[in-house]
Amino acid sequence: MTTTRSTQTAGVAFAIGAYLLWGVLPLYFLLLAPTGPWELVAWRVALSLVFCVILLAVTRGWKPLLAVVRQPRLLALTALAGVLIYINWQVFVLATLNGEIVETSLGYFINPIGTMLLGVFVLKERLRRLQWVAIGIATVAVLVIVFAHGTFPWIALSLTASFGIYGLVKKKIGPSVDALSGLTLESFWLLPVAVVQLIAVGLTTGITMGQHGPLHAGLLAFAGVATAVPLLLFAAGTRRIGLTVIGMIQFITPIMQFLVGVLVMHEPMPIERWIGFAIVWVAIAVFLIDLGLAARRLRSGRGSADETHPGTDSIPVP
């Protein structure tokens, strides 16, 4: 029991660290101007691979990596994870550099709900009544934004779908693939895409790396670390805790991104959009209330682990 609790506590800490770092990423990307979104993502991929190889060399982690390479099924899953995280990265960076940080935050507000549904339909987890209520409320919020605000939130839904399924894939391979080996392989599969994007940028707008002073070059070179560290933390977290707990912790990132978009970048927030976000926040409140009630029942001895976290490990309790 002690081992299980300490493992879950570590998983929560890793996940919180990942989402805090992701919350400040928009500000970091804005500092990289005039680097465009296609070049930026290409450097993220290439430099993440370099950073992972360095970590493998320092930690002597080649043996676990080679063990994964020998298993075709795991290799295929890491390739799928790479495609999903690439889609997430590219959409997120495009949106951030085009002044759509608020909509990226909407995607990550909705993402826990998508994660819950994946847990139900793929992992056969069971949701409680209040959790289904929250899903219904969030669905209403999306409909309000689509019909009242008059725009289809393709950025938000793309981020939700890509990262939700990415989390599911990481959950599937978690017991067999350590975080560093997984990210190394994901970056490796994406390296040809990064090379093609850098060539395309070089032939059109021009590569910005090294063209705007040492500070800009240093910040851009740091993209590999800024990309790899939160992903490694996320992977370590998903191996230790269930998707439902991950779904709750995910609210850290969209709150931070929303504040950056509204308070720092002063993005427009018409009344229809405020209403849509307000409904999403009601859904979040319902989720958190349900989680608190379940934890209280478990502590008082009236519930089971399934009530606190349906279908997987229970959340850590004092």
Contact 109, 254 (CB under 8 A): yes
Question: Is residue 288 assigned to a domain?
Answer: yes
Question: Is residue 314 assigned to a domain?
Answer: no
Sign, CA torsion 202/37/160/309: positive
Domain count, the chain: 1
Secondary structure (DSSP) of 29-92: HHHTTT--HHHHHHHHHHHHHHHHHHHHHHHT-HHHHHHHHT-HHHHHHHHHHHHHHHHHHHHH
The type of residue at 56 is L
Helix (H) or strand (E) holding 296: helix 271-299
Report whether pLDDT(3) > 60.
no
Nearest to 231 by CA among 10, 29, 45, 42: 45
Question: Is residue 315 assigned to a domain?
Answer: no
Q: pLDDT higher for 298 or 97?
A: 97
Report whether pLDDT(18) > 70.
yes
Question: Does residue 315 sit in helix, strand or coil?
Answer: coil
How would you class 206 by CB atoms within 10 Å of its CB: exposed for 0-12, middle for 13-18, buried for 19 or more?
Answer: exposed
Instruction: Report in angstroms the alpha-carbon separations of 145 from 96, 277, 297.
Output: 19, 8, 36
How would you class 92 by CB atoms within 10 Å of its CB: exposed for 0-12, middle for 13-18, buried for 19 or more?
Answer: buried
Question: Is residue 268 assigned to a domain?
Answer: yes
Report whether pLDDT(246) > 80.
no
Question: Is residue 164 assigned to a domain?
Answer: yes
Give the span between the Cα atoms of 235 and 46, in whole angstroms: 19
For 192-235, how does the pLDDT look when each residue is reduced to its tens digit (9 = 90+)?
Answer: 999 999 999 999 999 999 899 999 999 999 999 998 899 888 87
Q: Which two tokens stand for residue 129?
A: 């009544």
Question: Is residue 318 assigned to a domain?
Answer: no
Instruction: Report in angstroms the alpha-carbon separations of 182 from 41, 49, 58, 108, 214.
Output: 19, 11, 17, 23, 32
The type of residue at 46 is A
Question: Is residue 189 assigned to a domain?
Answer: yes
Contact 82, 128 (CB under 8 A): no
Give the span between the Cα atoms of 78 and 74, in whole angstroms: 6
Question: Does residue 304 sit in helix, strand or coil?
Answer: coil
Q: Give the rounded percent of residues in the chain with a pLDDT score beyond 90.
A: 46
Residue 226 belongs to domain spanning = 2-308
Whole-model pTM over 0.85 = no
Report whether pLDDT(293) > 50.
yes
Question: Is residue 139 assigned to a domain?
Answer: yes
